[in-house]
A and B are shown apart, each in its own frame.
Chain A
């Protein structure tokens, strides 16, 4: 039992925090908002040089073989600067899916490109009717003589416009009916792929995807065609742990800024922070930040556990951090007074990013339910 950072981890944290604080200013964010991709390709190349893109990828594919804790360290630093580069969609989810179920040839072809920064990925899975149910997919892949034909609609595909390859989930179908849920690699320029790209709440971009008679080759099928749901669940759990760490960075920044503001802002002849009602609110915010930190770390440390324990840790973290994040975000705005609801302060951007965090992969209620459903009688750890 050791929850302290190793020297390498401490170094990673320091360099990431330094890089983020020097680069990701409010000005930078404003510039990125008008970029077509929502982020900077130059910075993405720097991420590659720093080894961040290779971090969780296995060593035989040009990676560094890092784990969820290292990802969490990076994501927390990213949260502090509201980094909008497609790290989650490309490295955590995209490379995660390929690493977990891709064929040897697919891993050899794609993972080194992720690691060197030349390929971005996106995961097109969620559909409007499914809400947050990972198993519900109506997009269909029909077997054709040369490969597959995919039809369907995907919603809120993170960084879909930046991706060279989009990983699309679909139910495999033939004349006998619907089969397993499978994943397909769809190159971004494939005919029949319609993208409605939009700026994403809290920074970055996403798109809605329409697949109308999209033809891909037989080698587009990711892996051996077995049921991909367990892999999707595992990778989404990993993504939620990473997002939890990012939320911690965002929350800590909001707390720091709000604390500073309440010390400086004077009303009735004294600083806001001299009032007990304000001090207690700040104490509650600090507690919520600390609890979120505990749960993000817990989810990361349990990410390689068996699926039920892993799923409960990830859903527990998503639910709890979501609740903490909402509190910290809303109180930050509240304690900034009217300025808090304007675009003139930075805190609005952090607020919106936390709102996006809460929505992604389902909110607290959804994850408390999943936690309960997975639970059975496992109240003992």
Chain B
């Protein structure tokens, strides 16, 4: 057993580090540091995706025949960790990490040839049509209908919590193509052009003050049948496959460590009156750091199993749960660290394009919105309660 990366992996780490140093502009890094939402706005997110694509790193997890860089699990881990450490934009995962693997796994050759290059290059920007007002955790009860009419489906209904629908030109959605006894059997996975007539998007502001999610309405929207991925009625299977990616996507520990470092720097600054000298703050800081160490070690155990061709088992729920809880603990600590300055509200967005200097140190601006927005972490992608149901069933066999 060995916790350290090999010489080759270290060399790869330097390569990534060098690439980031040369390609991540200071303004982009600054903009990211002032972003309180889960994903970066497209002005920096897409720009970063394009830079990665130019280097051949646009789709790290994809097989080489679809333009992936042919990295080992360890290389992917190192890449993500280095990006997080450098404060690179947090690119919306809907394209590369979510719909991409589904199209690779279940799409037709035509779909693969058309969509995959456009995802890699950042030309297409995707959003996810899963939840509905009446279907949150109970996703299979979804009601948005797609009725066959010649070579088209005609879609009516509504999707909600649609991250970046106001930026996206494409949506992948779960729609009901059939009324079946078992709800899951009537669901299909479909790719929708967001410019189709009949689609309207309503912004939803989060409690942090950010416009990240939306409600999308479908009013007789015609989508070619050719845009269905895989078989009709098998959408649930593909959708679950994708959720595995959403939950386990990743390498959360490096991002959390970076977030904690930001809070720790604030706590050690005179701007907070050295909050770190408060024993409660420093103790919680340690507690969270240890939790991140734990999550990282679990990620590495999974990684090691993958490297040696073993099945890591149903750990994605565990990783998702702990990632979301630690995220909330870090952001809560941030609020406590900045003290009175947390009362200052800046309604304008994005923070990196303000016209005048804010009334508190700039780096404090995202702290409270981040905490408020982070409450969504234990809800999206299957709430913590759903994750515990999954662990009870899949890990404990209950």
Residues of A participating in the B interface, judged by any CB pair closer than 8 Å: 1-6, 9, 69, 259, 263, 273, 276, 279-280, 282-284, 286-287, 290-291, 294-295, 297-298, 301-302, 313, 316, 319-320, 365, 368-369, 371-372, 375, 377, 379-381
Residue from B1, B4, B9, B290 within 8 A of A319 (CB atoms): B290
B391 to chain A, nearest CB (A): 4
- Of the candidates A301, A368, A379, the one whose C-beta lies within 8 Å of that of B1 is A301
B388, CB-defined interface residue at 8 Å: yes
Which residues of A lie under 8 Å from residue B321 when comparing CB positions? 287
B59 part of interface (Cβ distance < 8 Å): no
A280-B385, A280-B389, A298-B294 given; name 13 further pairs at CB < 8 Å.
A1-B5, A1-B9, A2-B1, A2-B2, A3-B304, A279-B392, A283-B388, A284-B388, A287-B318, A297-B301, A371-B289, A371-B290, A379-B289
Please, how many angstroms separate the alpha-carbon atoms of A319 and B298 in the complex?
17
CB distance from A278 to the nearest CB of B (A): 9
Q: How far is the CB of A297 from chain B (nearest CB, A)?
A: 7
A3, A69, A294: the one within 8 Å of B294 (CB): A294
Complex formed: what's the CA distance from A286 to B6 in Å?
32
B201 smallest CB distance to A (angstroms): 36
In the complex, the answer to whether B297 meets A298 with C-beta atoms within 8 Å is yes
- Asked if residues A1 and B283 are in contact (CB atoms below 8 Å), the reply is no
A316–B85 alpha-carbon span in the complex (Å): 22
Contact of B322 with A287 in the complex, beta carbons under 8 Å: yes
Contact A4/B304 with A301-B3, A319-B290, A320-B294 known, Cβ cut-off 8 Å:
yes
Question: When the two chains form their complex, are residues A3 and B3 in contact, meaning their CB atoms are under 8 A apart?
Answer: yes
Considering the chains assembled together, what is the distance between the CA atoms of A333 and B388 in angstroms?
Answer: 21
Give the distance in Å from the alpha carbon of A280 to the alpha carbon of B301 in the complex.
24
Give Cα A290–Cα B318 distance, bound, in whole angstroms: 9
Q: Out of A273, A283, A297, name the residue touching B391 (CB < 8 Å).
A: A283
B-to-A contact residues, CB < 8 Å: 1-6, 9, 74, 85, 257, 260-261, 264, 268, 282-283, 285-287, 289-291, 293-294, 296-298, 300-301, 303-305, 307-308, 310, 315, 318, 321-322, 385, 387-389, 391-392, 395-396, 398
Q: Are B261's CB and A379's CB within 8 A?
A: yes
Pull 19 A–B residue pairs with CB atoms less than 8 Å apart, ordered by A.
A1-B3, A3-B1, A3-B300, A4-B305, A5-B1, A263-B398, A282-B392, A282-B398, A283-B395, A286-B396, A287-B391, A295-B297, A298-B293, A316-B289, A319-B290, A371-B286, A372-B282, A372-B283, A380-B257
B304 and A2 form a contact (CB under 8 A): yes
Q: Known contacts being A1-B6, A1-B303, A69-B1, is A372 close to B285, with CB within 8 Å? A: yes
List A contacts of B305 (CB < 8 A).
3-4
Closest partner residue, chain A, to B384 (CB atom): A280
Nearest B residue to A364 via CB reads: B287
B4:A273 contact, CB within 8 angstroms:
no
Min CB distance A325 to B, Å, is 14
With A4-B1, A369-B283, A379-B260 in contact, is A280–B388 under 8 Å at CB? yes
Q: By the criterion CB–CB under 8 Å, are B300 and A1 in contact?
A: yes
- Residues A368 and B301 in contact, CB atoms below 8 Å apart: no
In the complex, A319 Cα to B286 Cα: how many Å? 10
| Residue among A279, A294, A379, A380 making CB contact with B297, cutoff 8 Å | A294
Of A279, A294, A371, the residue contacting B298 (CB under 8 A) is A294
A298 neighbours in B (Cβ, 8 Å): 3, 293-294, 297
Cβ contact of B290, chosen from A283, A301, A368, cutoff 8 A: A368
Residues of B near A380 (CB, < 8 A) are 85, 257, 261
CB contacts (< 8 Å) of A284 on chain B: these are: 388
Give the residues in chain B near A294, CB-CB below 8 Å: 294, 297-298, 301
- Min Cβ gap B298→A in Å is 5
Measured CB to CB, the nearest residue on chain B to A2 is B2
Q: Which residues of A contact B286 (CB under 8 A)?
A: 316, 319, 368-369, 371-372, 375
For A316, the chain B residues whose CB sits under 8 A away are 286, 289-290, 293
On whether the beta carbons of B257 and A379 are closer than 8 Å, the reply is yes
Q: Which residues of A contact B301 (CB under 8 A)?
A: 3, 294, 297
Residue on B with the closest CB to A318?
B290
Q: Which residues of B contact A263 (CB under 8 A)?
A: 398
Say yes or no: B388 contacts A279, CB within 8 Å: yes
- Closest Cβ–Cβ distance, residue A135 to chain B (whole Å): 20
Write out the residue numbers on chain A whose beta carbons fall within 8 Å of the beta carbon of B264: 377, 379
**Contact partners of B300 in chain A: CB under 8 A:** 1, 3
Top 3 nearest A-B pairs (CB, nearest first) are A294-B297, A3-B304, A279-B392
Chain B: minimal CB distance from A285 (Å): 9
Contact of A1 among B74, B268, B391 (CB under 8 A): B74
B-chain residues with CB within 8 Å of residue A319 when the two chains form the complex: 286-287, 290
Residue of A nearest to B298 (CB): A294
Distance in angstroms between the alpha carbons of A320 and B257 in the assembled complex: 17
B392 touches A283 (CB 8 A): yes
Asked whether, in the complex, the Cβ of A297 is within 8 Å of the Cβ of B318, the reply is no
